[in-house]
Amino acid sequence: MTRSWWASPWARIVVLAGIWGCSFLFIKVALEGMTATQVVLGRIVLGAVAILAWVAIRREPLPRQPSVWLHAAAMGLISNVVPFLGFAWGEENGATSGLAGIYNATTPLWTLVFVLLVLPTERPTRARLIGLVAGFVGVLVVLAPWRSLHGAALDGQLACLGASACYGVAFVYTRKFLSGRAAPLGLATAQLTCAAVEIGLVAPIVATHSVSLPPRVWLSVLALGAAGTGIAYVFYYGLVRDVGPTTASTVTYLVPLVAVTLGVAALGESLRWNDFVGALVVLAGILVAEDRLPRRRFVVEARGSSEAPG
C-alpha cells in the first residue's frame, strides 16, 4: 500500500467500510462461544485500550472539564453500550449478520428524525420528508411483515433497528452538549473509556456465563474490539479532519454491502429478494433526504460527532 494510495480519502473510506462491514460477521462468530453481553464487554474494553494507546503515542489531548466527561459517560451508554448490545443481542436472536448491516445503514434516517424533532434550527423540507418516508418503506420491505416470522427472528431484527436509532439519538446529544467542546478524537476516547467502565461495572452481574474460546471466537472478539471499535474510530476521525464529515459519512453506503457479502460468502447466510430491494430503497431514501443526488445541493452533516456507525 503506497503513501499516495492511502492519501486518497476514497481509499480510506473503502478500508473503513471493510472494517465496519466485517464487524457484523465478527459478532456472529463471537456469539458461537460467548453471550451477547460478553461480546460487548470484550469489544468495548479492547476498543478503549486500542484508542487510548493511540492517543498516548500521538500525545493527543483528552478533555479536562468534568462536565465534558459527564456527557461522555452518557454518550458511552447511548452510542456504545446500548447499540452494541442491540446488535449483538439481535444477532443472537435470529438476525443474520447481513441483516444487521442493512439495519445499521438506517442510522442517517434516524439521525434526521431526531434532528427534526429536537433541534429547532433544523426545518423539514420536501426532500427530507420524501427521503424519510422512502427510507422507512425500505425498512418495512426488509422486515417483510407479509411473511410469518418467528418471534425471535423478528425481535432480533427490531433490536438491530433500535440499535441504529441509538446512533441517531447520539448525534443529537453530541450536537447539543458536546459539539466544539473538545477535539473529536479526544471526545471519542473519553466516550469509549467511559463505556468500558460502565460495561465493566455490570459485567460481574450480566456476563457471568461460561465461555468457549476456540481461536475463531477470541480472534473475532479481538478484531471486533481493537480494529472495529478502536482503530476504526482513529481512521474515521482522521477522515473527518481531512475531508469533512459529509464526505466521511459516505462510508455508510458501503458498510451494508460488505456485511451482506461476507454473511453470504463466509457464513452461508441466505439473501432474500426483499432484503436486497429494501436495502436499495433505504439507501435511496438517505440519498434523497440528504440531497446527495446530482441536482440541487442540500447537505445534512450527520457524522460530525463522536458517535460512529458499526
Task: Report pLDDT digits (tens) over 201-224.
Answer: 999 999 889 999 999 999 999 999
Task: Report pLDDT digits (tens) over 221-266.
Answer: 999 999 999 999 888 888 887 887 777 778 888 999 999 999 999 9
What pLDDT shows up at residue 255? 93
Q: Is the pLDDT of residue 293 over 80?
A: no
Distance CA 270, CA 132 (A): 28
Q: Best-predicted range by mean pLDDT among 3-7, 13-17, 298-302?
A: 13-17
Q: Is the pLDDT of residue 79 over 70?
A: yes
Beta-carbon contacts of residue 166 (< 8 Å; ≥ 6 apart): 78, 79, 82, 83, 86
Distance CA 45, CA 83 (A): 15
What pLDDT shows up at residue 139? 93
Position 2 confidence tier, pLDDT thresholds 50, 70, 90: low
Average pLDDT estimate for 161-174: 93
What pLDDT shows up at residue 202? 94
Position 3 confidence tier, pLDDT thresholds 50, 70, 90: low
Burial string for 199-211 (b: 16+ CB within 10 Å, else e) reads: beeeeeeebeeeb
Which cell numbers in the block locate residue 75? 454518550
Average pLDDT estimate for 280-285: 93
Instruction: Answer whether 189's CB lies under 8 Å from 62's CB.
Output: yes
What pLDDT shows up at residue 164? 95
Average pLDDT estimate for 113-121: 87
Task: Spell out the SS3 assignment of 235-295.
Answer: HHHHHHHHHCHHHHCCHHHHHHHHHHHHHHHHHCCCCCHHHHHHHHHHHHHHHHHCCCCCC
* % of the chain at pLDDT higher than 70: 90
What pLDDT shows up at residue 278? 93
| Residue recorded with cell 478503549 | 48
Q: Which of 5, 286, 13, 262 is nearest to 135 (CA)?
A: 286
What pLDDT shows up at residue 297? 44
Average pLDDT estimate for 99-115: 93
Beta strands in the chain (DSSP E): none
Average pLDDT estimate for 14-19: 93
Cα distances (angstroms) measured from residue 299 to each of 27, 119, 125, 128, 166: 33, 16, 12, 10, 21
Q: Which of 92, 93, 104 is nearest to 142 (CA)?
A: 104
What pLDDT shows up at residue 300? 43
What pLDDT shows up at residue 236? 87
Give the amino acid at 149.
Answer: L
Give the amino acid at 142.
Answer: V
Distance CA 301, CA 211 (A): 41
Q: Is the entire prediction scored with pTM above 0.85?
A: yes
Distance CA 47, CA 237 (A): 15
Q: Best-predicted range by mean pLDDT among 75-89, 111-125, 271-285?
A: 75-89
Which cell numbers in the block locate residue 67? 462536565
| Vertex 49 angle, CA 44 and 51, to 5° | 95
Q: Is the pLDDT of residue 1 over 60?
A: no
Query: Biggest alpha carbon distance in the chain?
Result: 56
